[in-house]
Structure 1
Amino acid sequence: MSDPDAQARARQPLDPDRRDRDPEGRARNARPRDASGRPLARGAPGVDRVPEDVVLPPAEALREAQRLLDAGLPFQAHEVLEGAWKATEGVQRTLWQGLAQLAVGLTHAQRRNANGAVSLLERGAERISPFAADPPHGIDVAGLVAHATALAGRISSAGLTGLTGDDLRPRLRRQLGD
């Protein structure tokens, strides 16, 4: 840093009122976000946010994530699935992580980031594929793996042109009931 004013500012503590922190002091980003989860300017209208610490039971998490996917909000669906992933212990933790990664892959496609979309769709499909033989919670693991793999292949070969809304709204469950 060659600017003496910048050096002085760097030594000053940050104003805690300017940072988004929860009561425990952990960083939280309270800025509004667009439908793809990108931060907007403070005070700008954004889409409703999923609380960062949301943890729902599996059936409810799947219902809410599907509602968000159907509404064209894969970033928010990712937040719901990530909450389930972080709250799950044991082997199913990998399943929830993979589902969250699939939603992030869809988010990257929505944001027009082909490389990110392909990478996360493939990674998510790889994580959930071991659950295809005995899928828990009515999750359509085989269908999701097929959808993610085909979508990643299409994006790899043809780019993001020609993607439809249906491409970004896979069905999480074999049936709508629990």
Structure 2
Amino acid sequence: MRGEKKEFNQDLADELKRMAEVDQIAAYIPQGEYKEMTESEWQSFKDSVFTTHQKRIEEVFNEFGFVGYDVVGKEGSSNFWVMVQHSDHNPEFQKEVLKKMKVEVDKGNTDSRNYGLLVDRVKLNTGQAQVYGTQVSYNMEVCQAFPKNLGDSINVNKRRKEIGLEPLENYLNDMAKMNFEMNKEHYSKKGVMEPKLYKTE
């Protein structure tokens, strides 16, 4: 019942871990056997993973609300969150989860940084400016990351600090380095030997 202490659920934690492993395969560039797939096969694999997972996590959400550390541990809570992140085809569901996630953040029962990432995802998916600048695009000519549609950029680092995120410039530089590693071939053809980074404190 609501208000009672929730019990730890190992079976659910294990299930979320298995789901998250597949989710991460679909969220990344094709590796191993998946490299053999055509572009359309890969796309339909990704879509089916994210859609199937969203249906299951919706069932979990309806039963438990946003699952925090008390129910599935730190890893389990993070695994649940990442699959909500990837439910972009259903922003209404993401919005519902976000409300319940805020309650758990305020109790210290889930990661406030993950909350910031979901806030931004929901904002962009519903046509609004993001708050924390966590969702990025890349200038593929020079390998530089930049935030998509960011509102009030002057105070963004103050907002990021409040939920435990590093300064935006550091984050964008990390994302650019990752993008460079993933697209080395593309950049070497353009004569780009390193990502273009922002100045940091």
TM-score bracket, normalised by the shorter chain, equals: 0.3 to 0.5
Larger fraction in helix: 2
Question: Normalized against structure 1, the TM-score is what?
Answer: 0.33
Question: Normalized against structure 2, the TM-score is what?
Answer: 0.30
